[in-house]
């Protein structure tokens, strides 16, 4: 099962112990995902990746602070705002498939996401990231759980939070020791 609550449910219904695997993606090693991602390159250079399923996050104080970084290219593989298309540093790369998706995460300078799987791939590739929670406890539970398990809860931004982003790098040591 994928959540700790699922382990408890299986135990209470069947009396058996369930195996907790946060996600099947983590059952494969980094070497597999490195080869799967291929050599995706972004011809325009270094970029931050935006994989958001809700444009309302882009209006948050967090992004107003982050967008002050001049010259950083922004690649979107999720939703975007119309005015993003007017930004000469903004690139839309939707519909390219899973190899491209994983490759863009692997090679990003930074990832901003609402996606559990994007977080997992950031962990696998040790890519710097922030994740925005939806406010839906069921949807957010896996994200909160995995980040808590690896001491990375500071990477979570809640929708209603006035964001102050730490200038510290993500410390992937605990994840790498327990997963790799």
Residue 173 has a pLDDT of 92
| 50, β-bridge pairs | 76, 112
Q: What is the pLDDT of residue 144?
A: 92
Low-confidence ranges of the chain (pLDDT < 70): 38-39, 41, 55-70, 81, 83, 95, 159-167, 180
- Distance between CA atoms of residues 147 and 24, nearest Å: 17
């Amino acid at each position: 099962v994928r959540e700790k609550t699922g382990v408890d449910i299986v135990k209470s219904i069947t009396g058996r112990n369930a195996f907790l695997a946060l996600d099947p993606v983590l059952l494969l090693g980094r070497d597999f995902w490195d080869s799967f991602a291929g050599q995706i390159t972004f011809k325009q250079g270094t970029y931050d990746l935006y994989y958001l399923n809700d444009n309302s996050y882009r209006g948050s104080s967090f992004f107003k602070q982050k967008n002050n970084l001049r010259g950083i290219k922004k690649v979107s593989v999720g939703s975007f705002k119309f005015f993003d298309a007017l930004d000469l540093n903004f690139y839309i790369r939707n519909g390219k498939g899973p190899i491209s998706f994983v490759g863009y995460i692997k090679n990003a300078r930074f990832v901003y996401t609402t996606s559990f799987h994007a977080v997992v791939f950031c962990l696998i590739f040790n890519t710097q990231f922030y994740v925005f929670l939806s406010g839906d406890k069921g949807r957010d539970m896996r994200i909160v759980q995995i980040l808590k398990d690896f001491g990375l809860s500071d990477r979570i931004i809640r929708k209603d939070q006035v964001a102050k982003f730490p200038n510290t790098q993500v410390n992937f040591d605990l994840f790498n020791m327990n997963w790799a």
